C-alpha cells in the first residue's frame, strides 16, 4: 500500500482549495479543536453568541457532510469526550455520527473507555480511528482490541508533534509501531501519522512509507507551492531529540492488560473537550 495523504482540517474550504490545486487527498481528519476554528464558529463566539450542544452538533454534521462529498476514502469524525466520558456515551455518539456520512471513521481516544467502545464498534462493522496515541503500548492495545477487523477498518493516530514538543522524537514512535505491527503480522490497523508540524515531518513520513499522513492546511499549501518535493535516497531525518526505544509487546494479549496511561493522553482529551465546551460558553 502506498502512502495516502489526508488533510487535517475542520473547514471544507481547505479541502476544496487543495483539491483545486491538484492535491490528491484521499481523506480528511477532523477534531473538536479544528471545528471550532471554522469561520462560522469563530464569528459567533467572537460576538459571545454561544452554541447549544444541538447547534454545534448540527454544524459539525453539516461540515463533515460537505467534506465527505469531496473525498472518497475517509472522513474522521470525533466523539466528544472528556476524562469522565464513558464508553456507552461514546458509543451513542458514534452510532449517530456514523450515519452522517458514508465514509466515516469514528474517532475515539486511545483510552480504556475509547478502546471499550472501539471493540464493540468494530464488531458491528463500523470504522474507527483511535487517536491521541503516544506510546507503543497503546498501539499494541489497539491491535488487540480490534482483532478481527477488516484491513482499513481501524486507523491509529500517533501524534508526532506533541511528542517532539516534550523533547522526544515523535517519528521514532512511528518507526516502532511499524516494526511491531510488521513483526506481529498486524494487517487490520492502518497507521495514520498525525500532529505534523513541519516539512521535515511530512518528508520523513513519506520516506518511511507510513500508511497514511494527515497534515494541516498551511503545511500542505506551502508544500504544494514548492512543487510537492519528496524525499530521495539521500534523505535522512534527525531532529536531535531523544529517541523512543522499541519495546516488545504481545499484540495478542488481552488489550486490558496494557497500560494506556500517558500525560499527553490526559492533556489531549481535556484540550479537545475544553475547545468544544468553549463554544458552548461552558469554559472560563
Closest CA to 115 of 241, 258, 16, 214: 258
Closest CA to 259 of 128, 135, 157: 135
- For residue 284, being part of any structural domain is answered with no
- For residue 147, being part of any structural domain is answered with yes
Across residues 169-189, what is the average pLDDT? 98
Contact 123, 95 (CB under 8 A): no
- Chain-centroid distance of CA 232 in Å reads 27
- For residue 154, being part of any structural domain is answered with yes
pLDDT interval class at 282 (50, 70, 90): confident
Tell whether the model's pLDDT for residue 1 goes beyond 70: no
C-alpha cell at 225: 507551492
pLDDT interval class at 205 (50, 70, 90): very high
- For residue 250, being part of any structural domain is answered with yes
- Tens digits of per-residue pLDDT, 234-278? 999 999 999 999 999 999 999 999 999 999 999 999 999 999 999
**pLDDT at residue number 49:** 94
CATH number at residue 149: 3.20.20.70
Tell whether the model's pLDDT for residue 284 goes beyond 90: no
**pLDDT at residue number 6:** 98
Tell whether the model's pLDDT for residue 124 goes beyond 80: yes
Q: Is 21 a catalytic residue?
A: no
Average pLDDT, the chain: 96
Task: Report the C-alpha gap between 159 and 195 in whole angstroms.
Answer: 5
Q: List, in order, residues 6 or more apart from 39 with CB less than 8 Å away.
A: 11
- Tens digits of per-residue pLDDT, 42-100? 999 999 999 999 999 999 999 999 999 999 999 999 999 999 999 999 999 999 999 99
Count Cβ atoms below 10 Å from residue 115 Cβ, excluding itself.
Answer: 25
* Number of domains into which the chain is organized: 1
Instruction: Give the long-range contacts of residues 91-97, CB within 8 A, separation 24 or more.
Output: 91/117, 91/120, 91/121, 94/121, 94/126, 94/128, 95/126, 97/61
**pLDDT at residue number 283:** 62
Where in the sequence is the domain holding 165, given as residue range(s)?
Answer: 4-279
Three-class SS of residue 207? Answer: helix
Q: List, in order, residues 6 or more apart from 99 with CB less than 8 Å away.
A: none
Across residues 25-53, what is the average pLDDT? 94
Amino acid at each position: 500500500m502506498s502512502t495516502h495523504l489526508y488533510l487535517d482540517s475542520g473547514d471544507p474550504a481547505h479541502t476544496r482549495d487543495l483539491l483545486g490545486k491538484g492535491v490528491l487527498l484521499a481523506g480528511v481528519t477532523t477534531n473538536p479543536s479544528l471545528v471550532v476554528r471554522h469561520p462560522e464558529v469563530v464569528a459567533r463566539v467572537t460576538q459571545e453568541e454561544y452554541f447549544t450542544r444541538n447547534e454545534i452538533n448540527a454544524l459539525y454534521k453539516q461540515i463533515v457532510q460537505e467534506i465527505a462529498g469531496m473525498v472518497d476514502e475517509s472522513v474522521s469524525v470525533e466523539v466528544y469526550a472528556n476524562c469522565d466520558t464513558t464508553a456507552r456515551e461514546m458509543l451513542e455518539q458514534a452510532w449517530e455520527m456514523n450515519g452522517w456520512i458514508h465514509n466515516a471513521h469514528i474517532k475515539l481516544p486511545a483510552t480504556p473507555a475509547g478502546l471499550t467502545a472501539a471493540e464493540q464498534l468494530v464488531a458491528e462493522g463500523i470504522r474507527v480511528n483511535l487517536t491521541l496515541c503516544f506510546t507503543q503500548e497503546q498501539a499494541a492495545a489497539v491491535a488487540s482490541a480490534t482483532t478481527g477487523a477488516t484491513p482499513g477498518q481501524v486507523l491509529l493516530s500517533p501524534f508526532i508533534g506533541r511528542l517532539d514538543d516534550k523533547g522526544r522524537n515523535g517519528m521514532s514512535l512511528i518507526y516502532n509501531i511499524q516494526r511491531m505491527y510488521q513483526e506481529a503480522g498486524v494487517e487490520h490497523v492502518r497507521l495514520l501519522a498525525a500532529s505534523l508540524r513541519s516539512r521535515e515531518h511530512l518528508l520523513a513520513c513519506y520516506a518511511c512509507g507510513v500508511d497514511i499522513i494527515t497534515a494541516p492546511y498551511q503545511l500542505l499549501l506551502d508544500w504544494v507551492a514548492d512543487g510537492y518535493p519528496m524525499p530521495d535516497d539521500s534523505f535522512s531525518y534527525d531532529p536531535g531529540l531523544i529517541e523512543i526505544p522499541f519495546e516488545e509487546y504481545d499484540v495478542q494479549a488481552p488489550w486490558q492488560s496494557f497500560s494506556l496511561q500517558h500525560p499527553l493522553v490526559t492533556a489531549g482529551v481535556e484540550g479537545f473537550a475544553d475547545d468544544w465546551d468553549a463554544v458552548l460558553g461552558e469554559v472560563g
